[in-house]
Amino acid sequence: MRWLVHEYDEWKILWVRGSAGTGKSAVAQSFADSCEEKEILGASYFFSRIAGRDKLETVVPTLVYELARSVPEYHSFVEHRLAKDHILLRNSPPVQFRKLIVEPFANLQRERPRKPIVIILDGLDECQGANAQREILEMITNAIRTNPDLPLRWLIFSRPEAHLKNAFSPMSECGREELIIDTECRENVERYVKDRLVKIKATYNDMIPADWPPQNKLRKLLDAVSGLFIFASTCLNYIGDSEGADPVSQLDSLLLFLRRSQGVVSRNPLAALDLLYSRILQDIPPDVFETTRKILAYMCYRDTFDEYHNLYSAQALSNFLQGWYKRGIIEHGNCRQSRFTTNNRSNHD
Residue 270: predicted pLDDT: 56
Residue 318: predicted pLDDT: 59
Amino acid in the structure at residue 84? K
For the beta carbon of residue 344, count every other beta carbon within 10 angstroms.
18
User: Is domain 2-178 given the CATH code 3.40.50.300 in the classification?
Assistant: yes
Cα–Cα distance, 282 to 280 (Å, whole number): 5
Residue 208: predicted pLDDT: 92
**93 prior amide bond cis, ω within 30:** no
Q: What is the mean pLDDT of the chain?
A: 81
Name the nearest CA neighbour of 121 among 75, 68, 38, 59: 59
At 96, phi and psi to the nearest 5?
Answer: -55, -45
Cα–Cα distance, 176 to 14 (Å, whole number): 6
Bridge partners (DSSP) listed for residue 53 = 48
Residue 27: predicted pLDDT: 86
Residue 213: predicted pLDDT: 95
Name the nearest CA neighbour of 347 among 226, 233, 212: 233
Helix (H) or strand (E) holding 178: strand 174-178
Residue ranges of the chain with per-residue pLDDT less than 70: 1-10, 261-277, 279, 282-283, 298-349
Find out whether 36 and 70 touch, Cβ atoms under 8 Å.
no
Q: CB-based contacts of 302: which residues, under 8 Å, 6+ apart?
A: 311
The CA dihedral of 119, 69, 76, 83, to the nearest 10 degrees, is: 90
Tell me the CA end-to-end span of the chain in Å, nearest whole number: 32
Helix (H/G/I), strand (E/B), else coil: 118? strand
The HSE-up count of residue 223 (CA atoms within 13 Å, CB side) is: 13
Amino acid in the structure at residue 45? Y
**Cα angle value 220/224/229 (rounded, 5°):** 125
Q: Where would I find the H helices in 212-301?
A: 215-225, 229-239, 247-260, 262-267, 269-282, 286-300
Residue 110: predicted pLDDT: 93
Residue 274: predicted pLDDT: 66
